[in-house]
Copies of this chain bind each other. A is one copy, B any other.
């Protein structure tokens, strides 16, 4: 599929969805639509992802199959300054993908226009309306299932999931990510935003996603939140049990000692945190933490190497910073 990605004013640092797709998507990106960088190219900012021209508006973009809203502002609102671009995309026969809280399909103008032009509006945060409680059957799939877990939100679980997938594919395995958040869903075109699902159905949503691709060699389930997080532990527990994993990969950001946004809550020591995950998992699956992923973005090169080595020691398992150092053989061996 050929795509344009809208990131007005946010490329690249505040366009997580768009950049994730440029890095990990199987789609071909024909243009980034960002009025503040028009005339530049993607590789001027990001040398290691697929390249594309940056244009000022959808009217300037080459022919594509779909437009993706590649930014997620706080609150998930639709910015009215994007309306003309979305309108143009629909009129040009493009489907539109959005991870906003604001549902495009419920916008009267867009809905009418989409019907008129025979295109689809995909609101990625909207869960399917036929979800149900988990049956406890995800453990029966043929695939090796690995679930990424973390010490907090935003520790790199999604990135770790895609890096493991790509390393496994290089080894010739049929590997896929099971996305549970909007960025992963935008990248793969599959998945369910689990934190948006009714609590009773959250594990069932994950189970359904795992079973839908259960005949692959490797499924990497994207975790969310953290099992000891004061607000999001329920989502994490649902993913942990709903995916019935064979193994866990522990994701952490170097130097983070308190829960982000909840600074009165200390992040437990790593060995204790691993123990909580493994004891929680045990009644449903015998998964243990087999590898670690450390986000070292705030460290320099030497510090990062030391931090990863220390992290591996603390875990008693191989570790890496997948963005900085990729996924080395010893980590992938532990995972698959």
Contact = CB atoms under 8 A, between A and B. Distances in A.
Interface stretch (A4-12, A89-97, A163-171, A236-244): A236-244
A290 to B, nearest CB: 20
Interface in A231-256: 231-238, 240-242, 244
B197 A198 contact: yes
A231 B238 CA distance: 7
Nearest to A204: B231
B238 A234 contact: yes
B203 A136 contact: no
A270 interface: no
Contacts of A306: none
B268 A282 contact: yes
A62 B278 CA distance: 58
A280 interface: yes
Interface string A249-273: 0000000000100101111100010
Contact of A230 (B233, B241, B259): B241
Contact of A203 (B197, B230, B276): B230
Contact of A280 (B204, B228, B259): B228
A131 to B, nearest CB: 11
A234 to B, nearest CB: 3
Interface in A274-333: 275-276, 279-280, 282-284
Given A136-B264, A227-B237, A237-B227, A232 B200 contact: yes
How many copies of this chain does one complex carry? 2
A105 interface: no
Interface in A161-213: 194-200, 202-204
Given A230-B284, A237-B227, A241-B233, A195 B203 contact: no
A202 B200 CA distance: 10
A134 interface: yes
Contacts of A237: 227, 233-234, 236-237
Nearest to A132: B231
A268 B231 CA distance: 26
A61 interface: no
A47 B5 CA distance: 69
Contacts of A133: 231-232
A229 interface: yes
A242 to B, nearest CB: 8
A283 B268 contact: yes
A106 to B, nearest CB: 16
Contact of A198 (B195, B228, B241, B282): B195
Contact of A231 (B134, B195, B240, B264): B134
B202 A234 contact: yes
14 contacts: A135-B262, A136-B231, A194-B199, A199-B235, A200-B232, A228-B241, A230-B242, A237-B237, A265-B283, A266-B283, A268-B282, A272-B279, A276-B279, A276-B280
Given A135-B262, A198-B198, A228-B284, 10 more contacts: A135-B231, A197-B199, A200-B235, A203-B230, A203-B232, A228-B280, A228-B283, A230-B244, A233-B238, A276-B279
